[in-house]
Structure 1
Amino acid sequence: MMGVYPGALDARGERLAGPIFTFVGLAALAACSFWAAGRDSDWRGTLIVVLVTAAWLTLLIPLFPRRKAHPWLTAGYFAGVLVAAVVLITRNELYTGFASVGYPLAFVLFPARWGFFAVAATAVLPILAKGSSGTPAPTWVLVASLAGPLLYAAWFVGAESEKRRKANARLEAALEENAGLHAQLLTQAREAGVLDERQRMAREIHDTLAQGLTGIVTQLQAADREDGPDRDRRLAQVRDLARDSLSEARRAVQALRPEPLAGSRLPEALSELAGRITQTSGVSVHTETTGEVRPLLPEVEVTLYRVAQEALANAEKHAKASRIGLTLSYSDEVVLLDVVDDGVGFSPGDRGDGTGFGLEAMRHRVQRVAGTLSVESAPGGGTAVNAQVPAL
């Protein structure tokens, strides 16, 4: 119920401590008065002091819950108890036992650092008051007045040691639990890192080698059907695609930005990408940039570039589009990328809406930068890809 310090009291202890310590003080006062009866020449004067002291002790009941908010009232109350004890001792040394009540009061009324001063005052003042009365105290009263503080001090030290022991045990248990959680988190982090790197490499391979090889195969097939300058032009495009794919593969392995973004801004890189698509496939790609162009985080720019690359490749390979529109829009908080084609379209349950690896890779990329991706399409109605990412 009650702890060593006032702050250690629980709610029930706060309610009961005041009455309990008041009862202890009154009981000690009554016991000392009983033994002093008949041994005091001026017992009427002593009785008046006893009654005043008893009334003063009862003030602890309303004061105790407010002791922290009113420290000066608390100090005044404790001083009143000591003054009453000193007055009683000067009249009869049998009241030395009552003075011992100051020891527990010192610890429950004051914080620890002030409680020790209160204990010192409780020990010194009764000693100074002894000898002033004409009635020496019996030996057992002196023993009780010394044993009380010693027993309380022993309980104080024991309770504090037990509290520290339990705190140390809880700390050791928490450290062991934290060590286990730390090891588990490290294992999960390593597994997540490995999975994340695998997904990154899969996306990069799809966006570089797979698309490059697809373009090479397309150009070689076209070259087989042509002769002369057209064949040479196709083979030249094959060499350029192979060179670009090799360069992009190396940059993907090294986790570098795509080469078109290394030396230019995102709108220029997208215009260059659109030009390559038009040159290799003959599909007309129109690019447009709106809003105030400004630098974005490298990962955001790479995401938008790869989404545009995948959307254009899908429109070229699957949609059989004749025209593609690519729009990059800057606003205060977001950047929008729209890729719209006039191709054959598809049903959401067919190969769209994230069921194809390319669309799924686009969605993962956008989600990694806290963005959103939507794909709208219908058979014969073309396809629209919209990516929205934070501009900050």
Structure 2
Amino acid sequence: MGRPEEVEFAQLLFGGIGIMLMLALAIVIFVLLYQRKLHFQQRHLHQMEMVHQKKILESIVASQENERERIARDLHDEVGASLSAVRLFVNQIQYESSPDEMKGLAARSGQILGDVVKDVRQIAHNLSPVIIETFGFAGAVKIVLDRMEDSGMDIHCYIDDPAEVLSPYQQTILYRIIQEVIGNVVKHAGASEITFDLQQHGTHLTLQMADNGRGFDPASDRKSAGMGMSTIRTRTDLLGATLLLDSAPGAGTRIKIDIPI
């Protein structure tokens, strides 16, 4: 039998080895559990990203369908109705014997055709970003706002032209958002005044629009979707921007979009 000192040293040695083995085993288990947890989190994030991308794709498809429906409605209600009226006047000319009546019908047909040309140009402007290439982003937006002012609405407008900080693609998306918001104001808000403010603040471009219309309840998903908010949110996501909506029945609507640049 060894000396007590040797026995005690051996016990301490084997005890230390045992503790080290347990620590090593604990570390291995911890690493395995951590990797498993990390893998689960990555898989969960990937699934969430797939769901998010699917929602964005569905919203884009829905917005495209809504755009097609709007174009078809514009062509039917405005262009189609006007051309039908012109056809009636032209057909009526052959039955008229009075030169004055013929001139009157021809003049009315020409006036309607002039309105049709304006309607077609308006539809083309809504379809194509050529208006941005022609007049610049600020000029294109001012044209849209001027049309609202011509209809009797009071417009307060300030625009920092974002041409130097946004790509043409981003400008087109932002222009579509503005078109959608203004379309909502015209169709739903019943407003007499709108404030439009687009300013650059450091590394952000901030768009703020407010109207004094009837407003709505943002908590109502169906109502919000009906007013085009789903399309606006989708396009805001494409810009990597944040959207704040503030509205209430009878209190108008305020929209703020903050775009990183």
Q: Given the two structures, how large is their TM-score scaled by the length of structure 1?
A: 0.41
Structure with greater strand percent: 2
SS at match of 1:385: strand
Whether 2:244 is the aligned partner of 1:366: answer: no
CA distance in 2, matches of 1:285, 1:380: 20
Give the 5 Å matches for 1:1-392: 199-207=59-67, 210=70, 213-214=73-74, 217=77, 236-246=114-124, 248-249=126-127, 251=128, 258-279=129-150, 281-290=151-160, 294-350=164-220, 354-356=224-226, 358-390=228-260, 392=261
Offset, 1:213: 3.4
Give, in angstroms, the shift of residue 369 of structure 1: 1.8
Greater C-alpha Rg: 1
TM-score scaled by structure 2?
A: 0.58
Tell me, in whole angstroms, the C-alpha distance in 2 between the residues paired with 1:333 and 1:284: 31
Q: CA deviation at 1:246?
A: 4.7
Whether the aligned pair in 2 keeps the contact of 1:285 and 1:324 (CA below 8 Å) is yes
Shift of 1:259: 2.1
Amino acid at match of 1:296: L
Unaligned runs of 5+ in 1: 1-14, 17-184, 252-257
In structure 2, relative to structure 1, the CA distance for the partners of 1:201 and 1:351 (3 Å cut) is closer
Deviations 1:87-146 (A, max 9, x none): xxxxxxxxxxxxxxxxxxxxxxxxxxxxxxxxxxxxxxxxxxxxxxxxxxxxxxxxxxxx
May I ask how many residue pairs the two structures share in their alignment? 199
One-letter amino acid of the structure 1 residue matched with residue 209 of structure 2: V
Look up the equivalent residue of 2:73 and give its one-letter code. L
Distance verdict in 2 for CA 1:271–1:207, change over 3 Å: farther
Q: Which one scores higher on RCO, CA 8 angstroms, separation ≥ 6?
A: 2
SS of alignment partner, residue 265 of structure 1: helix
- In the alignment, the residues of structure 1 paired with residue 75 and residue 213 of structure 2 have an alpha-carbon distance, to the nearest angstrom, of 19
Unaligned runs of 5+ in 2: 1-15, 18-45, 86-104
The percent of aligned pairs where both chains have the same amino acid is: 23
Superposed displacement of residue 204, structure 1: 4.2
- Give the residue type in structure 2 aligned to 1:303: I
Counterpart Cα distance in 1 of 2:119 and 2:175: 18
Task: Return the offset for 1:308.
Answer: 0.8
CA positional deviation for 1:307: 1.2
Superposition deviation, residue 219 in structure 1: 9.2
Give the alignment's Cα RMSD to 1 decimal. 4.3
